Amino acid sequence: MASTYVTSNHPQGSITRVAAIYDIHGNFPALEAVLRDIEKVNPDAILVGGDLASGPLPRETLERLMTLGAHVHVIRGNADRELVDCFDRSSDAAAEGVEDDIWILRDKWAARQITREQRDFLASLPEAKVFDIQGVGPVLFCHGSPRNDEEIITARTPDTRLRLILAGVEESLVVCGHTHMQFDRILDRMRVVNAGSVGMPYEPEPGAYWALLGPDVTLRRTVYDFNEATEQIRRTRFPGADDYVAHLFSELPSREEVIRFFEKLAKEREEGG
């Protein structure tokens, strides 16, 4: 697990609107569709909230993100950190061998697709950003939680645990991702929003999920050509591509099932210290 980090970075000036896109996971067609939608609303900034490339089209996704311009701000997710680690270990023969875990296979595959420059870009990313957004105020953007990039927050996280997670946070609004499910909840003086997942959402309808902040928070969904995306992903050699697209577009997981899974995992991690 990533170590706890301090969220003391200062707001980068007051701005009017920020589009928050999280958990792209190498789904390049979804990213392109969301960027077209974002262009229509013309925000002052785009915040990319981590887990950029671990998926079927990692190189294309990073190429696009790295050329978007200075108005785009990117933070690191746990999958980005793990992808860098896989890249660094890819030449280690001792690390190779028979592997049955599909997610590990996918990480190793993605690490072989990206360039050294892209690896270095991922390794350089900060863990959080703060923006002062007009009508909203100072907003802390992180991946998992304000404490680390793997910590789990869901719509059902118990209040007692959520208070511990948010302890010491000065901003009254936290935007996160990691669990791939949109929510907007208030606890005491704090508001916590999950922007959803662009590339691999756990939602009842297929699409690319994101959020627009300013003057309030709007949770959004972009529909794109799912058939074309399916074909594009299948043309890669991404491990388990058929199962991947099925869970994206036709055999969507139950939101309740996913919440139960994440809350069970969060409790196990809490009890395990």
* pLDDT score at 224: 98
DSSP H helical ranges for the chain: 28-41, 58-66, 78-89, 102-113, 116-123, 159-166, 226-234, 241-249, 255-271
End-to-end CA distance of the chain: 11
Taking residues 261-265, report their average pLDDT.
Answer: 93
Q: Is residue 174 part of a domain?
A: no
Instruction: Determine, yes or no, domain membership for 136.
Output: yes
Mean pLDDT of the chain: 92
Q: What is the CATH number of the domain that holds 47?
A: 3.60.21.10
User: According to the model, what pLDDT value does residue 9 have?
Assistant: 46
- Residue 239 covered by a domain: yes
Give CA–CA dist 207/27, Å, rounded. Answer: 11
Q: Mean pLDDT, to the nearest integer, of 168-186?
A: 97
pLDDT tens for 97-149 read 556 789 899 999 999 999 999 999 999 999 999 999 999 999 999 999 999 99
By residue range, what is the domain housing residue 54? 14-143+195-250
Q: Global pTM?
A: 0.92
Number of domains the chain is built from: 1
How much of the chain exceeds pLDDT 70, in percent?
91
Residue 270 lies in a domain: no
- For residue 3, pLDDT beyond 90: no
**pLDDT confidence band for 13 (50 / 70 / 90):** low
Residue 103 lies in a domain: yes
- pLDDT > 90? residue 214: yes
Spatial neighbors of 273 by CB under 8 A, at least 6 apart, are none
Tell whether 188 is covered by a domain. no
How far is CA 14 from each of CA 126, 133, 137, rounded to the nearest angstrom? Answer: 20, 5, 8
Q: Left (φ > 0), alpha (ψ -120 to 50) or beta: where does 211 sit?
A: beta
- Of 113, 111, 131, the residue nearest 123 (C-alpha): 111
For residues 151 and 2, give the distance between their C-alpha atoms in angstroms, rounded to a whole number.
9
What are 216-245's pLDDT values in tens digits?
999 999 999 999 999 999 999 999 999 999
102-113 vs 78-89: helix axis angle to the nearest 10?
A: 70
Q: Is residue 16 over pLDDT 70?
A: yes
Q: Is the pLDDT of residue 1 over 60?
A: no
Whether 166 maps to a domain, the answer reads: no
Report the pLDDT value the prediction gives residue 20, as an integer from 0 to 100. 98
Q: Please check whether residue 131 lies inside any domain of the structure.
A: yes
Residue 194 gets the label, from left (phi > 0), alpha (psi -120 to 50) or beta, of: beta
